[in-house]
Chains A and B, each alone.
Chain A
Amino acid sequence: MATVALEGVSRTYGSRSVVDGVSLEIEEGEFVVLLGPSGCGKTTTLRIIAGLVEPTRGIVRIGGADVTALPARKRNVGMVFQDYALFPHMTVGENIAFGLRERRFDQAAVESRMEELLALIRLPGFEQRFPDQLSGGQQQRVALARALAYSPTVLLMDEPLGALDLKLREAMQVELRRVQRRLQITTIFVTHDQEEAMSLADRIVVMRDGRVEQIGTPEDLYRRPGSAFVAGFIGKVNFLRGSIQSVSGPTCVISLGDGLVVEAVAHASCRAGSPGSIALRPENLTLISPQPNADSGRILGTIEQRRFLGNVVHYFVHTTNDQVLIVEESSTGRILDVGDGVGVAWRIEDAFAFGADEPRG
C-alpha cells in the first residue's frame, strides 16, 4: 500500500491552474523528488499533501486514509520549510520538542527523544542555543529534527537546501540521505535543481505546467526521457532541429537540413512529415576526423569554442547545417583547437527524436 497517494489532484487560483490533475503513488520508505522549473506546481503539490493548501479537485491519501478534508495538524506529517521556519524565540531544544509538546508527551519522553534526535543530526549539546546562533547548515538540521521528532508518516521538504552554498549543500545531501535511510521514512522533496534531484531520489517526478511530465528513477529519466522537456531538464543535452521524414516502429528518419538525414529512436510524439528534433547528450558524442561521407549519425563542423574543465573538455562545434553541438570528450586524449574541422558521431540508440513539442525557455 502506498504511503502517500494523490488521485487527480488539481488546484486553481481564479482562472489560473497551478496543479492540474496530478496522480502519484509513493511507497513506504521511498525518497521521491518533485522536480521542475519554478512555477511548475511542485511546491503547491507538496503543500497540498501537507494540508497547507486545499486542492480544488482530487483526493489525498496518507497511509491509505483519505485526508483531503483533514487539517494539517492532524495529518501527522513533518515538514522542512525553505526558510527553515525555526521559531526564533525558542531554543533548539524547544523547537525540536514543539511537536512533542503539542502531542502531550511527558517530560521524560521529550528529553530522551530530543537526545536521540540531536545525536541523529550530529548536534549533541545544542539544545540551549537559539536558532540565530547557528549556521545555515545547523539550522537546517534542527528543522529536520523538529520535523522528525514525532515520527511522522511522511517527511516533506520544500527546497530545504536552496539557501546553502554548494559545498554545504552537497554535504547536507549526503547527511539527509543518511538520516532518511536510517529511519526508513517516506520522504517527498521539492527542488528545481536536477543534480540535487538525481543525487537524492529513489524516484523523480518531473513536473511542468502543473502536470506530471514523467516519473522514474534518475537513470530512467536520463537514459529514457519521455519527452523533449525531460531530456532537456535532466542533464545537459543538444537539440538538433529538423523535420521527421518517416517513422517505422521504434526508429524514425529525420532530416536536419543541408542534406543531412539521420536515424534516431522515435518518441511517441513523432509524426512523419511534421517538425521534430533529436536530443543528443554531450558525452554520447565523439569527435572524429572530418570525412565527408554523410553516414547516419555523423555530422561535420568546425570547433567554435573550447572549454577545458579538468577531467573533460567541452567543444562547441558549429555544424554545417548551422547549429551548435556541445561535445564532451575526455581530457586525457588529444586536445583539439578552435577552428579545427571535425566530424561528430554518435550511436543511433543515443539519439532520441521528439515531435513538435520542443523544450521551452
Chain B
Amino acid sequence: MKAIVARHRSGARPRWHLFLWAPLAISAALLILPQASFVWMSFHKNLGMGLVSDTLVLDNYLRILSDPFYLGSLWLTFRLSLEATVFALILGFPAAYCLARARSSWVSLLVVLLLISSFVTIVIKVLGLSLVLGQEGVVNQFLQAVGIVSEPLRLLNNSSGVVIGLVQYTLPFLVMLLFGVVQTIPVSLEEAAELHGASRASTIRRVIVPLALPGLIAGGLMTFNLNMGAFTSAVLLGGGKVLTLPVLIQRKIFLDVDYPLAACLATVLVVLVFLFNVASVLLLRWNMRSQRPS
C-alpha cells in the first residue's frame, strides 16, 4: 500500500493491479473451499441421519457408475442440455445476426431489453411458461386453432417442457454473446462475397458461419454449461418426472439426507462438464490447426 502510494507521489502511474490481489484471494477462497469440501465429502460413506464415515471410500463413485438409474440420469441431463443448446443456437444466431446488422436506432433498445430479460429471475420466467404451455394454454390453443395439431400437445411435466424452459433461460445470454460475435465480422466481407457472385445462402455457408464458428462454439458451450447445471426449469417444468442430475442432487440432500452421494453426483457433474469443455476447445483448435499449417 505504502509502496503504491509512494510510487504515485513520485509521479509514476499507480500500480492498480496490486489492489487486485485481495479480491482475487477472497474469490479463490470462496470458489475453491466449498468445491473442495464437497469433493472431499464425496469420498465418504453415508451412515444415515446425516452422518458420514471417517474413512475414505470409492463406494459412491462405484455406485453411480454402475447403477443404470444414475447413468440414465446423467445421459438424460446431457441429452436435454445438448438439445436445448442446439435449439438456442438455431433460434439465437439468426436473431443476433439481424440485431448486429440492423441499422436502426431500435437496436440499442432491443439489446437493453435483452439484458433486462436476462435479469428476470428464472422462477418467474418458468412460472410464466407453465401458464402458457399447459393443455389449455395459449400455445396449445393457437396450435389447435391453426390446425397444426388436433390434440393438445403435452408441453409440461415432461422433457419437452424442460427443454423449452432451458432455451428460454439461456437465449438472452446467447443472443447477447453472438451479437458481439457478429459485430466483429466486417460487413465488407459479406459485400465482397455477394459481389464476387455468392448467393445469400452461399455467403452464410462460406463466409458468415465459418467466421462466427469460434463464437458459436463459445456460445454453445456457455449455453450447454448453464443447461447442465439448470435446476429450476427441470424441477418446475419437468413436474418432478424429469430427473436430471441437479434435481437428483437436491433430492439426495433434502429427501434422502445422503450428503456423500449428493456430493459425489455433483463432483461427477462438474468433472464431466469440465471435460466436455476441454474436449470441445481442443477439438476446435485441432480443427483450426489442421486447416492451417503454421
Contacts and interface: CB of A to CB of B under 8 A. Distances in A.
| A and B interact physically | yes
Interface of A: 50-52, 71-73, 77-79, 81-83, 85-89, 98-99, 102-103, 128, 130, 146-147, 149-150
Interface centre among A85, A86, A88 (most CB of B within 10 A): A85
The 10 closest A-B pairs by CB, nearest first: A102-B197, A99-B196, A85-B192, A85-B188, A89-B210, A73-B197, A79-B195, A99-B197, A72-B195, A72-B194
A73 B198 contact: yes
A50 B197 contact: no
A102 B188 contact: no
Nearest to B210: A89
Contacts of B202: 102
Interface in B175-223: 186, 188-189, 191-199, 202, 206-207, 210-211
Contacts of B9: none
B211 A89 contact: yes
Nearest to B213: A89
Contacts of A130: 292
A89 B189 CA distance: 11
Nearest to B293: A128
A341 B197 CA distance: 66
A335 B63 CA distance: 101
Contacts of A147: 196
A81 B197 contact: no
Contacts of A85: 186, 188-189, 191-192
A75 to B, nearest CB: 8
Contacts, number: 63
A78 B211 contact: no
15 contacts: A73-B195, A73-B198, A77-B195, A79-B196, A81-B188, A81-B192, A82-B188, A85-B189, A87-B206, A88-B211, A98-B206, A102-B197, A102-B199, A103-B197, A128-B293
A52 B197 contact: no
Interface in B152-193: 186, 188-189, 191-193
Prevailing SS type, chain A contact patch: loop
Interface centre among B186, B196, B206, B292 (most CB of A within 10 A): B196
Interface centre among B194, B199, B210 (most CB of A within 10 A): B194
A51 B197 CA distance: 12
Nearest to A77: B195
Interface residues of B, number: 19
B192 A87 contact: yes
Contact of B195 (A50, A83, A86, A89): A50
A85 B194 CA distance: 12
A101 to B, nearest CB: 9
Contacts of B293: 128
A246 B162 CA distance: 90
B52 to A, nearest CB: 54
Contacts of A146: 192, 196
Interface of B: 186, 188-189, 191-199, 202, 206-207, 210-211, 292-293
Contact of B193 (A77, A98, A103, A128): A98
Given A78-B195, A81-B192, 13 more contacts: A52-B194, A72-B194, A72-B195, A73-B194, A73-B197, A77-B195, A78-B196, A79-B192, A85-B189, A99-B197, A102-B202, A103-B197, A149-B196
A345 to B, nearest CB: 52
B277 to A, nearest CB: 23
A87 B195 contact: no
A209 B196 CA distance: 30
Contacts of B206: 87, 98
Nearest to A81: B188
A85 B189 CA distance: 5
Contacts of B192: 79, 81, 85-87, 146
Contact of B207 (A71, A87, A149, A150): A87
A149 B188 CA distance: 19
A102 B196 contact: yes
Nearest to A150: B197
A72 B186 CA distance: 18
Contacts of B199: 73, 102
B191 A81 contact: yes
Contacts of A51: 195
B194 A71 contact: yes
A102 to B, nearest CB: 4
A150 B197 CA distance: 10
Contact of A52 (B191, B211, B292): B191
B198 A102 contact: yes
Contacts of A88: 211
A52 B207 CA distance: 17
A82 to B, nearest CB: 8
Contacts of A78: 195-196
A288 B24 CA distance: 78
Contacts of A72: 191, 194-195
